[in-house]
Amino acid sequence: MADPVVASHLSLVLKAPPTISSPSQFLLQQHSKPMASSLNSAASLRLFASSSSSSSSAAARLSLRSTSLSFSSSLKSLAFSTLSRHKRGSAVSVSSTGGFSSVASPKCAASDPDQLKSAREDIKELLKSKFCHPILVRLGWHDAGTYNKNIEEWPRRGGANGSLRFEVELKHAANAGLVNALNLLQHIKDKYSGVTYADLFQLASATAIEEAGGPKIPMKYGRVDVSGPNECPEEGRLPAAGPPSPADHLREVFYRMGLNDKEIVALSGAHTLGRSRPDRSGWGKPETKYTKDGPGAPGGQSWTVQWLKFDNSYFKDIKAKRDEDLLVLPTDAVLFEDPSFKVYAEKYAEDQETFFKDYAEAHAKLSNLGAKFNPPEGIVLDDGPR
């Protein structure tokens, strides 16, 4: 859900990590070198892009307090899954090849409010240093955007349940590159074991919007994590960037989630954040005057001039159509072509306050799709207005 609703219609190529001879070598490298790959994707996004392995375990089982890392035998992608600590401690299996098997978060584990607040502060610091607002928004949207309102059973219905931490779902074409978002957040998950992955993903997404200058999102927490990769949704539930009939495609995907035309257009406005890279997605220019100097890794093509600032520039720029250095995908352009979409797009281009109000409501709705809350009413962080 790029940039949200249409959210990322871009397929970013998920590059294989370098060969690691042992888990200890991997951990050493993670702590000793800059996260270049994370930064390369941090500012590249399409909130919703187009579109498990397991290894035999060794006899030894180790009780660890740190991160559980899961490698596929081909090393095509990397997913992080944290070991629960303290009261939720568990074991990790070390394979004969030196990799780790995934350890799932326990079911029915509501997040701790104090840890949520502390995690949010750590996310703010991460955003200041890594400029990773776009990819964190995309992470939350892709976890929630698999929801199917026609399926009642949890977690088969998809939605915000933390399933995106598993390799089988990370390998979906629409999620290419999101392993970098997991890399960025993993130390926060390690630090706050009382926060579920499902909540962490949505917390990071909402915080990124707010810290980029967007509206305060009326969030609630307490989402329960799925327990294993067998509970991940099938591939193909997220939108594409250039379908033959963009308007029909957007409605097919987002109506399935229970969203309407106003929410589709409002969420599309999050494309004000981020940029695309043709070598990863097939869309956009290698670089423009707005992206050649970063921040983060330089290059790519953005939808707006200030692509780390959340405002209504996305709608203004699409309407103006006067800057060839700004990206407009078929699913962007259709917002001013379809009669129903156009009503909202025109309004948002003229009235940022209305856009912010509608966006905040739509983002909060999206973040709750398919989630199972414990307690059922959810947890609202009592921190007052921003």
Which amino acids are annotated catalytic?
Answer: 142
CA 250 vs CA 7, 149, 154: distances in Å = 10, 16, 24
User: Which residue in this structure is represented by tokens 């960037």?
Assistant: 241
CA-wise closest residue to 272 among 243, 306, 239? 306
Phi, psi at 250, each rounded to 5°? -60, -45
3-state class of 281 per DSSP?
helix
Helices 197-211 and 352-368, interaxial angle, to 10°? 170
Q: Annotate 180-202 with b (16+ C-beta within 10 A) or e (fewer).
A: bbbbbbbbbbbebbbbbbbbbbb
Find residue 221's DSSP bridge partners.
379
Rg of the chain over Cα atoms, rounded to whole angstroms, equals: 20
The amino acid at residue 198 is: A
Cα–Cα distance between 103 and 357 in angstroms, integer? 39
3-state class of 157 per DSSP?
coil
At 210, which helix (H) or strand (E)? helix 197-211
In this structure, the strands spanning 67-71 and 275-276 are unpaired
The amino acid at residue 341 is: F
Burial class of residue 179 in the structure, from the number of CB atoms within 10 Å of its CB (0-12 exposed, 13-18 middle, 19+ buried)? buried
Q: Which two tokens stand for residue 381?
A: 């962080």
Burial class of residue 212 in the structure, from the number of CB atoms within 10 Å of its CB (0-12 exposed, 13-18 middle, 19+ buried)? buried
Q: Which two tokens stand for residue 121?
A: 């502060």
